[in-house]
Amino acid sequence: MGGDPAPFRQLPDNPSRPARAFWTRADDGVRLRMAHWQASSDSRGSVLLFPGRTEYIEKYAGIAGSLNDAGYDVLAVDWRGQGLSGRLLPDVRLGHVAQFSDYQRDVVEIVVAATDMGLPRPWHLLAHSMGGCIGLAALHGGLPVTSAVFSAPMWGINLRQMPHGVAVGMAYLAGRLGRGGRPAPGSGAMGTYVLDESFSANLLTADADEWCRLVREAAAWPDLTLGGASFDWVGKALNECLRLSRLESPALPALAGLGGQEKVVSPAAIRDRMARWPGATLLEFAEARHEIMMGVPDHRAAFLSEALALYDRAAKEAP
């Protein structure tokens, strides 16, 4: 089941079993790429994997393999505007979205694909960074999962010294002047982050092996990578984070991981949300950076172990 076959890339020395990638379309015509990794044994359920901004399906092959070995099918997506899904501007290097709610169109197609494929239930959510923002909105929209796990969820953006209102105002003004599709200053260079930044200064991972893998992938598959964000993306993302901050927490088991060296998203927003989520657990890793699942082996293993334990408990407690 699933749509027409789509490409799925692997580095030459990668011995893992590739995902089955396929194309589908959102209701507004944007083409999306999804990938399914089937459990290595009798499935205990399925994980809907929501990646972050700039990311692509192949980046999560190792995580999907670990989940498969634990008995879970995995379904992941290239969000609109990134990976091999349809890019939204003539400048394909620029991350952009017209409305943040458009990502929910992609979520609908994930659920449709999972249903059509008969993915084993119960379903669970695993979401990183921007995927955590999309995922929280999807939970409020009735995403049919039994539990949710978040890695450095983008429930706020680290604006450093810029006040939230100033950033929103700049994005709004750019849109009014017809420049919403232009690069927003401070949102990242238009190159490829892992190729342009040094390992010692990078904000993503302290694990040299993972960093080298990301560098190799970006060099081998430049068409999967993405640069900075548009004014529209920044403004719409900030507004979505603010909107979500005013909502109650969903009534399902949840876990979030946060690195002590987090400088991409807002640690304060994550701590605030988890403090207001009854029964939820916040795991903090003092030396971790933004990508715990691509971090040092001890952090990665601890996070996945807690995630799997939550999935198992939620499945047993589900009605």
More reliable by pLDDT, 264 or 41: 264
> How many other C-beta atoms can be found within 10 angstroms of the C-beta atom of residue 315?
16
pLDDT digits (tens, 9 = 90+) for 21-32: 999 999 999 999
Give the pLDDT band of residue 206 (cuts 50, 70, 90).
Answer: very high
Give the pLDDT band of residue 161 (cuts 50, 70, 90).
Answer: low
In the chain the first and final C-alpha atoms are separated, in Å, by: 28
User: Taking a C-beta distance cutoff of 8 angstroms, is the pair 32, 111 a contact?
Assistant: no
User: Taking a C-beta distance cutoff of 8 angstroms, is the pair 258, 269 a contact?
Assistant: no
CB-based contacts of 78: which residues, under 8 Å, 6+ apart? Answer: 32, 33, 34, 51, 56, 57, 84, 85
Domain 20-317 = CATH 3.40.50.1820 = yes
Q: What is the largest CA-CA distance in the chain?
A: 56
Assessment of whether the complete model's pTM goes beyond 0.85:
yes
62's tokens: 């190792």
Residue 175, pLDDT > 90, answer: no
